[in-house]
Structure 1
Amino acid sequence: MREADIRAAIQAVRSGALSRRAFIARLTAVGLPGPMAAALLPMSDAAGAQTGKPFYEPVRRGGGGALRMLFWQGPTLLNPHFASGSKDQAACRLFYEPLVDWDRDGNLYPMLAQEVPSLANGGLARDGRSVTWKLKPDVTWHDGKPFTADDVVATWEYARDPATAAITHGSFRSIQVRKVDALTVRHEFDRPTPFWVDAALHCVLPRHLFAAFRGATSRDAPANSRPVGTGPYRFVDMVPGDLVRGELNPTYHQPLKPHFDTVTIKGGGDALSAARAVLQTGEYDFAWNLQIEDEILRRLEEGGRGTLDFAHGGHVEFLMLNHADPWSEVDGERASPASRHPVLLDPAVREALALLVDRDSIQRFLYGRGGVGTANFLVNPARYTSTRKGLGHDPARAEALLEAAGWKRGPDGVRQRDGKRLKFLFQTSVNATRQKVQGLLRQAAQRVGIELELKSTTASVFFSSDPGSQDTATKFLADLQMYQQGRNGPDPGRFMEMFCSWQIASRENKWEGRNVIRWRHERYDRTFRAAEVEVDPVRRAALLIELNDLVCEDGAIVPIVYRPAISALTRRLRAPISGWTVETAQIADWFKA
C-alpha cells in the first residue's frame, strides 16, 4: 500500500467513513503488523469520540465538593508495583499515573506521555524493536519536584530487579529503558515486539523517593503507604483495609482538572451494602465491583437514585487447582514450588472437578447480566477467543471417571485411593454470589463422592499483598480457590504470562509471582515465548488461543463466567470507566452534572 493510500485511509477513519477495525484489517492484509497499523491512527481523548472530543469541558479546577467512593474491599497498600488486587490498584490511581492507558473502547490515550507513539509521528520503530516516548513538560510530583525521564528510567530499574519482587517485573525484565534527554525516553527490545506498549501501562514512581529502596529493601520505603505521585489527587491519609483519602492537586498537569475537591475510598461491608449505599440511599456517589445477583441489582435500580455501568473487558471468574502441596512444608514453606499436590495432579480428578461446574445455572440464576458462562479463560476481543466448548456439566461422567481411576467410595461416601481422600479445602473471598457458587459446587461434588470444605476470607485480607498473612490468594494455602482475574488492555500477551513457570509464586519472590497455582507446562512456556516475538497478528492470535487451550484442557483452571465490570453511580455522577484498566484510571475526568 502506498503512503498516499494510508493517509487517505487515516482521513477516512477521522471522518467516520471507515471504521478503525476495517482500517487495521486493510493494513494487516498487506503485511503490516496489527499493533503498528493501530498505532497509525489518532487516539481518542479520554473517553471521547474518535474526533478527539473530550469527555467533558471543565470550566475550573475543583469546586465539585467531595467524591465518596465505596469499595467493599478496603485498599491495603499504595504502591502500584505491589498491588496484586484491583482494589489496591484502583486506590493507587488516585495518586500515580502511567505514560498511557486504555479508554473504554480499547484505544490508547496519553497520560504522562505527550502523545501515543506511532509510525506516523516517528515514535514507533518500523522494525518493532524500539519505541520513543516524549514526556509531558512542566509536570511535577506532589512534593513539587519535576517529573523527568530520570523517573521513568528509575521505575524500570526498580521493577526489573528480581529482589524488588514487583508484580510488574514481567513487563520490565526483558527491555532496556534509555534516557534520550530530560523529557524523552526510549524503550528498546532485543527482538521485534508486538506488544510494545506493555511497560508504559504501569505507573511511574518518583526516583527521589524510591531509588534507595530498589531490591531487597523495597518493602521498607515510606512512600509505599504515603504516595507522592503526579496524579489529580494528593495523599491525605490511609487506614489499611478501611479508607484512603485524597485532596485536589492544585498543580495537576491537566488544565482545569480535577473536578472534585476531595476523594475518599471507603472499604468494608460487602457488595450488596455498597450497591444499596448508592442506588437506594445515595449515601455514596460510587460503588465498585458489584458482584451481586442480577435480580437484586434490578430491584435496587428501580429506586431511581442511581444507575449501573457495565464496562466490558477481559475479566473471568474461574476455579484454580493448586499444583503444590498446601499441607506439607519444604524448608518451612507450605505450598512450596518444590512440592507437588498429592491428589490434584491426577488428570481424572481434575477432569471430574471441571465436569461439576454448571455454568448455565450459575449464569441464569446468579449472575444474569453480570456474568456469561464460558469454558475459556481468554475472552474478548473475539479474535483471541478459542472455539473450544469445554467439557460441559456432567456429574455422571465425573463419577464414572473417578471410579475408573480407582477412586472408591469409603464408608462415609467420600472416595479414596492409596490412603488419600478426595477431600479439599475450597477458598474464596467473602461475597454472597461467590458463596452461592461455592455451595453449588459442594453439592455437585458431594453427589460424586468428593467432599469440599468451604472457606471465605474477608476480601481486604484475601486480596492483600501482606507476606505475613496466611490467608492471601497469592499464598493459596488451600486445594482450590476461586476469584476473578482481569487484564490491563485488550491485548492478552502479558496477561497469559500468569501461567508461565518463571511466574510461580513463592517465598523467594514474596508471593508476588502471578502463577499462584504453581503449574508447570513446558509446551505452554515455549508457546508463550513464541507469542512474545510473533509480529504477524494472525499467527500471534493463534498462539495466544493455544495458550488458553493448554491451561484449560489440562484442567489447571476451570473458567466459570466472563464478567463485565459493574459499578453503581448516582444519577448526577459522570465517570468514564474502562473495562480494560482499573475503574479509577480516568478519575481526573469524573464530575457531577
Structure 2
Amino acid sequence: MKRNNVINILASAKKIIEKKTDPADSDTEAAPNFEVLEKRSIQSLKSSRLPSWSQLKHLSHFLSNTEKKVLRIAGYLLAICFILLGVSFYWSHSILIASEGGTYTEGLVGSPNYINPLLAQYNDVDRDLSILLFNGLLRYDQQGSLVLDLADELHISADQKEYTFTIKSGVTWHDGEPLTVDDIIFTITSIQDPNWQSPYRLAFANVIVEKIDDHQLKIILSEPLANFLHSLTVGIIPEHLWISIPSSNVTLAELNKKPVGTGPFQFSSLTKDKNGSIRTIALTRNESYFEKTAYLETISFKFYGDYETGVQALRSNNIEGLNLLPKEYGDQLTKNKNLVFHHLSLPQYTAVFFNTQKNDLLKDKALRQGLTYAIDRQKIIDQSLNREGKIIDSPILPGYFGYTDETTKYEYNITLANELLDKTGWLKTDESNYRRKNGNDLTFTLTTVANPEYEKAIKIIKANWEAVGVKTNLAIIPKDKIKTDVIEPRNYEALLFGQIIKSDPYPFWHSSQIASPGVNLSVWAHQGIDDLLEQSRTQTNIEERAAKLVEFQKILTDNVPAIFLYNPVHLYPVTNKMQGINTQNIISPADRFNNITNWYIKTKRQFSWHKDSE
C-alpha cells in the first residue's frame, strides 16, 4: 500500500513539472529525472518508518530555501549542544591537579650570614635557606614527626648505642657529583672539630662514626641518648668541596654564600647593595632531586631589616609572603584579600622564670604559687597575642611526647592568690598599696626583651600582681643586649621569655644547665628532677621514658619555679595563589618549608571517572 502511494505521488509530480517546463528556455534549470528518482525511491523503501541515509541525501530537492536555512541553523545548534555536553561531561569528570611552573617571592627579616647547616642554628634566615638547599639523614615531615631523608634504611641496636644507616642511591649534589657515605662521615667529623665552632658539637661529642661500605655507615654512641635521632636532621655538606678549606677558615668560605647541597632547590644568584649586604637570593628547582621534584620553578628571597619594612613590602605586593609574623602586625594585613594566614604551632612556650638565686624571697614556694594564681593568662592571650595562642600548664605541650594533663593547674584565682601570699607573712596594710613585712614593700622586677608581644604581657602581669599587693617594676631590654647583659649572667629576678623545646627538656631544667651556655633560666635545682631527666635520656623503653617525663612535669609544676603562660600560634602570611601548604606542627620556623615540593601555583585538569572534591 505504501509503495503504491509513493508511485502515484511521483507520477503526479512528473506530469505537473512537464506541463510547466519550457524546453526552449536554456536558462531554466533542468527538471529532475523522475524516472530515476522514482526507481531509486521505490527500491530504497523499507518496512522501517524512519528514512535511510540514501533517502535523506535527496531531501534538499524537496526543501525551500527557508527550510534549508532553518535546517542548517538547527544543525549548528545541535553541534553546539553536543560540544557543550562534551565540555560539561569532561568538567564533571576531571579534577584540578598541580602543575610545574611559577615563581614565589618571600620576605625574610634579617640577613644571611652562613648558609651552611653546620653553622646556621643561631640565625633564622640561614636556617630557612639551608632547609631548602640541604638534606639530613632524617627530616621532619609536615606534622613534626621524624622520617627518613637521605637515609634509605635505619637499624638501631637493642642497647640504643649503634645506628646503622643505608643511604639512598642515585643522590647527587647540585654540581652533579654523587653523594657518598664519605660526605656524611666528613660532616659529622667537621661538627666535632672545635675549629668549625658548630653549635651541634655538643650533640655529637661522644659519637664515633664508621664506614661499613660505599652505601652503609654506623654511628656509635658511648651511652644511649633517647633524643639523638633529632640531631641527625642536620644537613650534610659535600666533602669534595669543603675538604680543601682549612677548618680555621670555614666561616670565610664563599660556599657559605653560594652553597652546594642536595636539596629540592639549588642556589642560582644573589644581589648586594652598595655596602656589600645581600639584598636578594634566588633559588631554582633541582631537576635532579632524588625525591619528587618541586612544582615551583623559582623561589626568591628579599631581606629586610625589620618587620615593619617587611610588612609594608607585603602590603605593596613587592613580596608574596613573609616569615612568621609577630602578632602586632597581623591587623595591618587582615584586610588584604590576596593573603592566606597559615597557623603554625611550634613546641614553644612563654613563661615567667623565677631566679631563685637573685632574690631570696622567690625561694618561698607559697609566694611563687600566689604570684602564679594572680595572673590572668587568658587576658594576656587576648590582648598581647590577638587570641592567637593557648594556655599551657607545663613545658611539654599537648601533642608532644611525654605530655600529661595530670599536673598542678593554676587557674586565675585572686582569692587563692591572696590567701597564699598572706601565708608568707607579707600582708596588706592601710599604710601602703603593697604588701609589707618588717617595714618593707613586697617588690620584684620583671624583665623581658623589647618585643611588642612581651611588653603587652608584662604590663598585664604588673597590673595583676599589684592588684594583690605586689609592687612590680618593669625592665625592657633591647634585643641586642638581652643575651649578653641579662640571660648569660642571669641578671634578673623574674624574666618573661620564650623557649623552644624540641624533644628533650634536659637542657632547660637539669641543674647542670643553670650556668650559661645552659638554659635553665629559673636557676633552680631539684635532685628528683635531675634523676628523672637523666633516666629519660638513657631509657630505651618508650613507655618508661614517657612515665619519667610525666613525673618530671608533676614535680616541676608543684614547685612552680616558673609560670607557664601560653603556647603562641604563629601566623605565616602567603599569597592566595600558593596552594599545597598543609604544614601545622613545626619544630623550628624553618620547618614551614618541610613540604615545599608540594607547594604549587599553576594547575591543570586531569580526567577522572571518580571525581573527588577539588
Q: Distance in 2 between matches of 1:416 and 1:242?
A: 58
What is the SS of the residue equivalent to 1:187? strand
- The structure-2 alpha-carbon separation of the partners of 1:267 and 1:136, relative to structure 1 and needing over 3 Å to count, comes to farther
Pairing 1:158-177 to 2, within 5 Å after superposition: 158-160=190-192, 166-177=198-209
Which residue of the other structure, out of 350, 353, 359, is the alignment partner of 2:377?
Answer: 359
Aligned with 2:447 (options 426, 430, 438)? 426
Q: What is the TM-score normalised by the length of structure 1?
A: 0.69
Secondary structure of the structure 2 residue equivalent to 1:592? coil
Q: Map 1:65-464 onto structure 2 (within 5 A).
A: 65=103, 67-72=104-109, 78-82=115-119, 83-84=121-122, 86=124, 88-113=126-151, 115=152, 117=154, 123-125=155-157, 128-141=160-173, 146-160=178-192, 166-190=198-222, 194-195=226-227, 197-207=229-239, 209=242, 220=251, 222=253, 226=257, 228-230=259-261, 231=263, 232-234=265-267, 236=270, 245-248=281-284, 253-254=289-290, 256-257=293-294, 259-270=296-307, 278=314, 281-292=316-327, 297=330, 300-301=333-334, 303-322=336-355, 325=358, 344-367=362-385, 370-381=388-399, 384-386=402-404, 387-395=406-414, 397-399=416-418, 401-402=420-421, 404-405=423-424, 413=434, 422-431=443-452, 433-447=453-467, 448-458=469-479, 461=480
Matches of 2:486 and 2:135, distance apart in 1: 27
> Cα–Cα, structure 1 residues 112 and 227, in superposed 2: closer, same or farther, change >3 Å?
farther
**Amino acid aligned to 2:381:** Q
Higher mean displacement: 395-404 or 517-526? 395-404
Deviations 1:392-411 (A, max 9, x none): 22455445545544557897
The equivalent residue for 2:600 is: 591
Does the C-alpha gap of structure 1 residues 193 and 74 become closer, same or farther in structure 2, counting only changes over 3 Å?
same
- Distance change >3 Å, CA 501–CA 226, structure 1 → 2: farther
Q: Distance in 1 between matches of 2:439 and 2:279?
A: 50
Structure 2 distance, partners of 1:238, 1:550, is: 53
Q: Which runs of 5+ in 2 are unaligned?
A: 1-95, 603-614
Provide closer, same or farther for how the CA distance between residues 391 and 425 of structure 1 changes in structure 2, counting only shifts above 3 A.
closer
Instruction: Name the amino acid aligned to 1:314.
Output: P
Matched, 1:481 2:495: yes
Q: Which residue in 2 is equivalent to 1:547?
A: 552
Match of 1:527 in 2: 532
Residue 570 of structure 1, aligned match among 567, 575, 579: 575
Once the two structures are superposed, what CA deviation does each residue of 1:218-249 show, in whole Å capped at 9, x if it has no partner? 98554695363413232736899985624326
What letter is aligned with 1:152? I
Contact 2:355–2:492 under 8 Å retained in 1: yes
Cα contact 2:116–2:259 (8 A) shared by 1: no
Q: How far apart, CA to CA, are the structure 2 residues paired with 1:536 and 1:500? A: 21
* Larger fraction in helix: 2
User: How far off is 1:250 after superposition?
Assistant: 5.1
How much does 1:313 deviate? Answer: 4.7
**2:98, 2:295 within 8 Å by CA — same for their partners in 1?**
no
Question: 2-side partners of 1:218 and 1:392: how far apart?
Answer: 54
Residue 85 of structure 1: how far off its partner (Å)? 5.8
Question: Using the alignment, how far apart are the partners of 2:414 and 2:280 within structure 1?
Answer: 46
Q: Give 1:441 shift.
A: 1.0
CA pair 366-497 structure 1, distance change in 2 beyond 3 A:
same
CA distance in 2, matches of 1:135, 1:127: 22
1:319-359 deviation digits (Å, cap 9, x = unpaired): 2334565xxxxxxxxxxxxxxx5554444553344233312
Preserved CA contact (<8 Å) 2:114 2:251: no
Instruction: Identify if the C-alpha distance between structure 1 residues 422 and 161 changes in structure 2 by more than 3 Å, giving closer, same or farther.
Output: farther
Conserved 8 A contact 2:384-2:454: no
Residue 549 of structure 1 aligns to a residue in which SS? helix
* Superposed CA offset, 1:483-520 (max 9, x none): 433344xxx3x3543322344453xxxx4x44455443
The sequence identity of aligned pairs, in percent, is: 16
Q: Tell me if structure 1 keeps the 8 A contact 2:374–2:413.
A: yes
The Cα of 1:151 is off from its aligned counterpart by 3.0
Residues 319 and 559, structure 1, Cα contact 8 Å, conserved in 2: yes
Secondary structure in 2 matching 1:583: helix
d(CA) in 1 for partners of 2:586, 2:446: 32
State the Cα RMSD in Å.
4.1
Query: CA offset at residue 426 of structure 1?
Result: 0.9
Alignment partners' CA distance in 2, 1:517 and 1:322:
5
Alignment partners' CA distance in 2, 1:355 and 1:87: 39
Cα shift at 1:211 = 9.4
